Amino acid sequence: MLRKSNPLRVALLAVGVICAFSSYATIVSDTVYLNRGTMLAVDSTNIPYFAFNNTSVFDRENERLFLDVDDTMELLVINTDSLTHGFDIKHYTGVNSVNSVIPANSSILVSFQFQEEGAYIFYDPTQSESFRYMGAGGMIVCRSPNANIHRFFWNMKDHQVLFNENLNQGIPVDWTQYYPNYFTINGNSNPYINEDSDARVTGSVGDTIYIYMVNTGQSLHSIHLHGYHGEIIQSSKFPSHVGRSKDTVPVYSMEVVILKIVPDQPGEYPVHDHNLVAVSGGNIYPNGMFLTMLIN
């Protein structure tokens, strides 16, 4: 037997549904400062650098931005430099473009959202991405809420000191001659990568671990895992590669790969670029892209 609808009950239900939806789609506000500075490399070499930081004080590690699926981020980008810079998100397909020019010592407000969880690259596209190469590139992480996942974040870069110095002075460089001599993850090289708790993979057997890898450098980095295979769960360049089980994963320049690892054995195992030249820093082995995973 059908029961007659009560208009009040229907209205309350509608309000409830609207509230439920609105609680998942919030506006997140954040601010980043585009700062000019000098990166102190692993051997104390000074490298002219740009970075997006969360204060106006320069830090070689770019700020990471976090939001949930369908959230809208309103991001204030403040250019503290005396040159014009810019802001963009690689492969961004939102309704409104986020590609923006930021005049010297001024700011812009951009807003964006993602319908799928994953990692995205924000960067300074100015001067054919020269400023991005010099450091101004970071990671946006779009997560599903309440997922029981251990997450680690790697922003990989490479630098040839002379290139940074020339670009810093406005001198053009010949990219066909590029040969980097410093390789970093989150601004650090071995042995300091292991001191970064966001980069160094730690956990226990059976944990679900996600490694978010973005390559905001110029070279391709071929990342090799010891001890485990990982499953590709995001590949911005090759979406068809999702699901592959790999121990060595190439990450192209300005592309994203997320690896899922569920460790099946305890131990301390290296992860490193298998272009073994990139395991050096200032031409010294092993001061490059090398860290270890520690699994209990």
Q: Enumerate binding residues for another protein (CB under 8 A).
A: 158, 175-180, 218-220, 222, 224, 226-229, 240, 243-248, 250, 265-270, 273-280, 283-287, 292
Closest approach, Cβ 273 to another protein, in A, equals 8
Helices 126-133 and 161-168 meet at what angle, rounded to 10? 130
Q: How far apart (Å, rounded) are the C-alpha atoms in residues 144 and 155?
A: 21
Buried residues in 135-146 as b, exposed as e (16+ CB within 10 A): bbbbbbbbbeee
Closest approach, Cβ 147 to another protein, in A, equals 22
| Residue with Cβ nearer another protein (69 or 294) | 294
Q: How far apart (Å, rounded) are the C-alpha atoms in residues 191 and 182?
A: 13
Q: How far apart (Å, rounded) are the C-alpha atoms in residues 74 and 9?
A: 36
Closest approach, Cβ 178 to another protein, in A, equals 5
Closest approach, Cβ 154 to another protein, in A, equals 17
Closest approach, Cβ 30 to another protein, in A, equals 33
Buried residues in 245-263 as b, exposed as e (16+ CB within 10 A): ebeebbbebbbbbbbebeb
| Residue with Cβ nearer another protein (126 or 280) | 280
Q: How far apart (Å, rounded) are the C-alpha atoms in residues 164 and 171?
A: 10
| Residue with Cβ nearer another protein (93 or 265) | 265
| Residue with Cβ nearer another protein (103 or 266) | 266
| Residue with Cβ nearer another protein (16 or 266) | 266
Closest approach, Cβ 114 to another protein, in A, equals 25
| Residue with Cβ nearer another protein (79 or 235) | 235
**Which of 63, 34, 36, 40 lies closest to 49 in space, CA to CA?**
36
